[in-house]
Amino acid sequence: MNAQEIRKKYFEYFQEKGHKVIPRASLVPQDDPTTLFTGSGMQPLVPYLLGEKHPAGKRLVNSQTCFRAEDMDEVGDNRHTTFFEMLGNWSLGDYYKEEQLPWFWEFLTKELKLPKDRLWATCFEGDKKLGIPRDDESAAIWKKLGVLEDKIVFYGAEHNWWSREGEPSRMRDGEPGGPDSEVFYEFTGVEHDNKYSEKCHPNCDCGRFGEIGNSVFMAYKKKSKGFEPLPKPNVDFGGGLERLAAAVNNNPDMFKISLIWPIIEGLEKLSGKKYAEHQQSMRVIADHMRAAIFLAVDGVMPSNKTQGYVLRRLLRRAIRYALDIGIEHDLCEKVAKIVVDIYKPDFPEVEKAEKEVIEAFIREEKLFRQTLRHGLREFEAYFKPAKEYDTKTATQEEKIKKMGHYKPAPSTLTGELLFKLYDQDGFPVDLSKEESRKRGIKIADDADKVFNQQMQEQRKRSQTASAGMFKGGLADHSEAVVKLHTTTHLMYRALKDVLGDHVVQRGSNITAERTRFDFSHPQKVTPEQLKKVEDIVNQKIKEDLPVSWKEEKTPEAFKKGASGAFGDKYGDRVKVYTIGDPARPFSREICGGPHVEHTGIIGEGGKRFKIVKEEASSAGVRRIKATLQ
């Protein structure tokens, strides 16, 4: 059974158990400023896990595309990827452990026919300080299902607790989380490597085990002091599709599955080289191109900021690794086509965006190849013997006197230079080293150490920047953010009224301090137009319009003029927020909420809406930052 068939079977199995299939959410979270990317299946469902009603009901199933930028440097072994699909089934305050674990077990052993004796289960060992008991219930269920006692292992919160931020101590106020129970597949024929741990166990990183499913029993909400039980506990199940497919293949090399292997075959053909001899390069290219395609399908374009920068890094790394296997041009065009062909039968949006995405990638590749050439020139210039005198300021006399004198060329590639070439000139580290070796230039012993130190310092700088940028936000549902959220709806409508109906939301990010809104518009918005938008929004705040929501069938919602966000997919039914008299609304938007109940709340304390910045975000997309002051 291949990966596509596993996905289909999973949907069918859970549909039979009363679940509704919901579409994947965009890889770029909408209205969730806490993170740049959707990295798990539960992320887009947080409002519903906290108690909002989901239009599709209480039992949901989906396959959520996920992207984890933090894993980029790990890619290259047989199991790490930045992009993956997470199969998910959800009980929103409906069924619990007694149904979830036997269903998943049945899916694994009957539908996928995985041998029972290769399956292990892990459970939460409890935490007295937090007052959360050991999960003996799950262990008893596993035992009853036939998991051998020595294959049921208890772990602490570092492995068997799930929230978006990880362990309980790292969770923000209001964040949902809970103990989880994971299933691991033990591959045959993989020897334990005691470099990782003395004795092998399911969470050992040696590669013998692969985690294939995680049932989170989301029963708690973090409060400033400890935890509060959710009114109705949820089940949040997530299982990596690619890992399940690797288990079904009984081959720990995830790159051999049907969603990736055609890319590797394509690379073998393009390069004339064999996967067995070039695993690392081919894996990096295959992973990065899959991720890049989905990011671009979801509206990200290469740029120097936030998501766009990550996409740029993916493409550049892919192009750089392609050099290793001798592919010197047209990588993006050729490989992107293979990726599109794999996914288009199941993701129509991939086919729809194909032309635009591939054109953008071709432009990016051209640009980067110029960067590579520029980096090479910088490298060569540095290692050329320099004239003793300053060519610009030296007098003719000095020049004659010193004629023929050269400073000796630097003879060592230092960590500082390595970092400068990488950071400022975009010249990859491996290339700098390779060029040095070719020219007989010594590489300083501490070059890697110094490079890594500088890299870490830079990472710290950018983390601080992004922590500041995404401080607070809609995810914590604070009053300031909710007010700005409703204000953003007013602004979206006002922008359409002033600029025209071509204005479509391309992204939004709301913190307690400001709303940031990206939308399609071909030129700069004039100060007069911005003033008009401000006036309309302030007028609507003053009119104290009611804000209400209703569930509607998706086509009907669109027919009645609701707007949505570019790159977002919608299920059969959606929640539509209306501002104003529902018979003659000012704004209608597909949105998960939450919002203020009437617009007057936004203006409390004499606050007025003010646009503080208007700038280009990417080609054809403008960005507005606005506050209440």
Q: What phi and psi values does residue 155 have, to the nearest 5 degrees? A: -135, 165
Question: Least CB distance from residue 178 to ligand SER, whole Å?
Answer: 10
- Closest approach, Cβ 216 to ligand SER, in A, equals 5
For the bound state, the minimum distance from the C-beta of residue 381 to ligand SER, rounded and expressed in Å, comes to: 48
Q: Is 65 in the site for ligand SER (CB under 6 A)?
A: no
Residue 487 near ligand SER by CB under 6 A: no
Coil vs helix vs strand at 44: helix
Burial of 284 (0-12, 13-18, 19+ CB in 10 A): buried
- Token pair 């401080």 is found at 471
Q: Which of 124, 162, 187, 275 touches ligand SER by CB under 6 A?
A: 162
Nearest to 390 by CA among 375, 407, 372, 367: 407
**Which CB, 42 or 72, lies closer to ligand SER?**
42
Part in contact with ligand SER (CB under 6 A); list of ranges 39-47, 326-334, 446-454, 519-527: 39-47
Please tell me whether residue 242 binds ligand SER under the rule CB under 6 A. no
Task: Decide: is 40 part of the binding site for ligand SER (CB under 6 A).
Answer: yes
Shortest distance, CB of residue 593 to ligand SER, whole angstroms?
A: 21
Query: Pairing relation of β-strands 119-124 and 83-91?
Result: unpaired
Instruction: Give, in order, the Cα–Cα distances in Å from 567 to each of 7, 298, 348, 374, 577.
Output: 22, 5, 12, 35, 19
* Among 227, 233, 235, residue whose Cα is nearest residue 131: 227
Q: How far is the CB of 236 from ligand SER (least distance, A)?
A: 5
Name which of residues 79 to 138 contact ligand SER (CB under 6 A): 88
Q: Which range, of 34-42, 373-381, 382-390, 437-445, touches ligand SER by CB under 6 A? A: 34-42
Q: How far is CA 355 from the centre of its chain?
A: 23
Q: How far is the CB of 444 from ligand SER (least distance, A)?
A: 42
Query: SS3 helix, strand, coil % of the chain, rounded to 5?
Result: 45, 20, 35
Which of 186, 236, 287, 365 binds ligand SER (CB under 6 A)? It is 236
Q: Is 41 in the site for ligand SER (CB under 6 A)?
A: yes
Among 47, 176, 202, 238, binds ligand SER (CB under 6 A): 238
Q: Which residue, judged by CB position, is nearest to ligand SER in the bound state?
A: 238
Least separation in angstroms between residue 163's CB and ligand SER is 8
Asked whether 281 and 325 are in contact (CB, 8 A), the reply is yes
Residue 214 touching ligand SER (CB under 6 A): yes
The answer to whether 304 and 316 have CB atoms below 8 angstroms apart is no
Asked if residues 219 and 210 have their Cβ atoms less than 8 Å apart, the reply is: no
Angstrom distance (rounded) from CA 60 to CA 343: 22
**CA 242 – CA 79 distance, rounded (Å):** 9
Listed residue (326, 203, 339, 207) closest to 261, CA to CA:
339
Rule CB under 6 A: is residue 42 a binding residue for ligand SER? yes
Closest separation between CB of residue 237 and ligand SER, Å? Answer: 6
Cβ proximity to ligand SER, 100 vs 487, nearer residue: 100
Stretch of residues binding ligand SER (CB under 6 A), selected from 225-233, 236-244, 312-320, 593-601: 236-244
- Name residue, tokens 């923000």: 172
Residues binding ligand SER (CB under 6 A): 40-42, 88, 162, 214, 216, 236-238
